[in-house]
Amino acid sequence: MSARNRELLNLGFASLVASAAFASVSIVDTGLVNARWLGYVGVVFGLYLVAHVVARFTVPYADPTLLPLVGLLTALGLTVIYRLGPEDARRQAVWVAVGIGVLVATLIWLRYDYRVLERYKYLFGVSAVVLLLLPSVPGLGERVNGVKLWIKVGPLQFQPGELAKIFLIIFLAGYLRDKREALAQGRLKDLGPLLLIWGAAMLVLVQTSDLGSALLNFGIFLAMIYVATGRALYVAVGLLLFFGGSAALYNSIGRVQQRVTVWLHPWTEERVYCSISGKLDFRQNCDSYQLVKSLYSIANGGFGGTGLGKGTFTTVDGTQLIPYLNTDFVYSAIAQELGLIGAAGMLLVVMVLVARGMRIALIAQDGFSKLLAAGLTFGLALQTFIIVGGVLRVVPLTGITLPFVSYGGSSIVSNFVMLGLLLLISNRAAATAVEQ
């Protein structure tokens, strides 16, 4: 069977799973068995069919699992978001449409050779830094929940960090392919760029007080430099520098400090200073309110979950118990309603996606493609780890999105760009193999 036919078959399976999920939410919601959800599934998988058809023409040899796996994740995200608030789900569906549009555009634009991107690597590098710092420009940036991540132009809100991540990976792939021999020597003078990027990461951290995206971008950078040079020392030094720098900044950035305290001691037996109200209160009722409520939500799911649509997220009179449930905390909603089985299933889907991405990096022929695929894939894994690990109290909680699942336009669109690039790389690698 050809790669694209397998893709179509996989999409069929994904739509079956998604249909069951939508149907379940819809039935609980209305108390009736009806076919309203069919429209939803039809629209979403119609979009994926468009992507599939375009893929047939542009990337015929590409990996047949990527698109269906992403389809599964977005469908799961949409289901949970719909269950939490149908209005948001409609907007999210529009963003998925835009994302698939961008995916199609990427595929068509770069169908001959995506490696042209390498020529503009410095442009991408500079754009990434500009995008990261954009939210701190006065008058343009918006501070949401103490973190400057958004820019606002007229009615449009955008989180440039998501796109910056992909630009950064393209830049690093091009730059490291150029310099990898020199860097592999490990001479002191070649360490300059490393320090420069570390400095930039720290600057972004100070400017936006967002530990999550700083950690994500720096982690991607370390993984890529390791892939390029094979020197574990860089990783060790880099980690040391990052955590040393964060520790030094620990006292000056109150937000980071607060996040770490909440992470280490979410529950207190006595009343402590509450930074939200400025009064004394138990930490679980104040600074760590979100984290603790989200842990209760996860725990309530247990092994099998409450069932889609039957979880508890509001009080008896309908007040939300967990803030940011469909963005930062979407995992705790999934874990409650689908239980350990469903949450682990979702993570396994991500793992398969990561495994396929890494396989693409392995079979790619040239250094740029390998670095690009490995960087993008590791970014996906690390981002999942940072946000889900934050929700699970494995690492301090920082507000970034769960790729393809969380509510949020910028995130969805950027991730589809990533998917497009992976499809292009795998298509080229497989096509070369076929020619040989």
Partner 1 sequence: MNKQITRVAGVAMALLVALIVATTYWQTWARPALAERQDNAIQRVAQFEIKRGLILSPSRVLARNREKRVGGRTFYFRRYPQGRLAAHVVGYSTAGRSRTGLERSLNPILTGSARNLSSLVNQSLDKLNGKPITGDTVVTTLDVNGQKTALEALGTTCGAVVALDPRTGRVRVMVSSPSYNPNDVESAYGRIEAIKADCTPASPLLNRASQGLYPPGSTFKVVTASAALDSHKYTTASSFYDPGYCTVYGKRVSNFDTERPFGNLTLATALQYSVNSVFCNIGLKLGAKRILKQAKAFGFYERPPLETPESERLPSGLYKGGRLYDPKRDSNVDAGRMAFGQERLLVTPLQMAMVAGTIGNDGILMRPYVVSKTVTPNGKTRARTKPSKIRRAVSPATARDVGAMMIRAVQAGTGTAAQISGLEIGGKTGTAETGVAGNNTTWFICFAGDPGQKPKLAVAVVLQNQSLTGGATAAPIARQVMQALLTPTANP
Which residues of the shown chain bind partner 1 in the complex (CB under 8 A)? 28-31, 223, 226-228, 230, 267, 282, 284-285, 292-293, 295-303, 306-307, 310, 312-318, 321, 335-336, 339-340, 343-344, 347-348, 350-351, 354-355, 358, 361-362, 367, 370-371, 374, 377-378, 381-382, 384-385, 388-389, 392-394
**Comparison of 332 and 427: residue with beta carbon closer to partner 1:** 332
Q: How many residues does the chain have?
A: 436
**Comparison of 127 and 297: residue with beta carbon closer to partner 1:** 297
Strand 156-158 with 147-153, pairing: antiparallel
Q: Kindly state the smallest distance separating residue 418's Cβ from partner 1, in Å.
A: 14
Q: Kindly state the smallest distance separating residue 173's Cβ from partner 1, in Å.
A: 11
SS3 281: strand
Q: Kindly state the smallest distance separating residue 209's Cβ from partner 1, in Å.
A: 24
Q: Kindly state the smallest distance separating residue 340's Cβ from partner 1, in Å.
A: 5
Q: Kindly state the smallest distance separating residue 14's Cβ from partner 1, in Å.
A: 20
DSSP 158-185: E-HHHHHHHHHHHHHHHHHHHHHHHHHH
**Comparison of 5 and 185: residue with beta carbon closer to partner 1:** 185
Which pair of tokens denotes residue 265?
Answer: 């001691």
Nearest of 423, 362, 398, 368 to residue 55 by alpha carbon: 423
Q: Kindly state the smallest distance separating residue 309's Cβ from partner 1, in Å.
A: 9
**Comparison of 252 and 365: residue with beta carbon closer to partner 1:** 365
**Comparison of 106 and 229: residue with beta carbon closer to partner 1:** 229
SS (H, E, C) 348-377: HHHHHHHHHHHHHHHHCCCHHHHHHHHHHH
Q: Kindly state the smallest distance separating residue 364's Cβ from partner 1, in Å.
A: 9
**Comparison of 247 and 348: residue with beta carbon closer to partner 1:** 348
Whole-Å CA distances, 39 to 19, 24, 30, 43, 171: 10, 14, 16, 6, 41
Q: Kindly state the smallest distance separating residue 84's Cβ from partner 1, in Å.
A: 13
Nearest of 129, 211, 132 to residue 171 by alpha carbon: 129
Residue pair 80/370 in contact by the 8 Å Cβ criterion? no
Q: Kindly state the smallest distance separating residue 228's Cβ from partner 1, in Å.
A: 7
Nearest of 164, 160, 156 to residue 148 by alpha carbon: 160
**Comparison of 262 and 388: residue with beta carbon closer to partner 1:** 388
Query: How many angstroms separate the CA atoms of 76 and 94, rounded?
Result: 15
SS3 314: strand
Residue pair 176/224 in contact by the 8 Å Cβ criterion? yes
SS3 310: coil
The residues near 256 (Cβ < 8 Å, ≥ 6 apart) are 209, 211, 246, 249, 250, 396
Q: Kindly state the smallest distance separating residue 313's Cβ from partner 1, in Å.
A: 8
Q: Kindly state the smallest distance separating residue 20's Cβ from partner 1, in Å.
A: 15
**Comparison of 7 and 337: residue with beta carbon closer to partner 1:** 337
**Comparison of 120 and 296: residue with beta carbon closer to partner 1:** 296
Beta-bridge partner residues of 147: 144
CA angle centred on 423, ends 59 and 327, rounded to 5°: 140
**Comparison of 130 and 344: residue with beta carbon closer to partner 1:** 344
Residue type present at position 172: L
CA angle centred on 332, ends 326 and 333, rounded to 5°: 55
**Comparison of 68 and 375: residue with beta carbon closer to partner 1:** 375
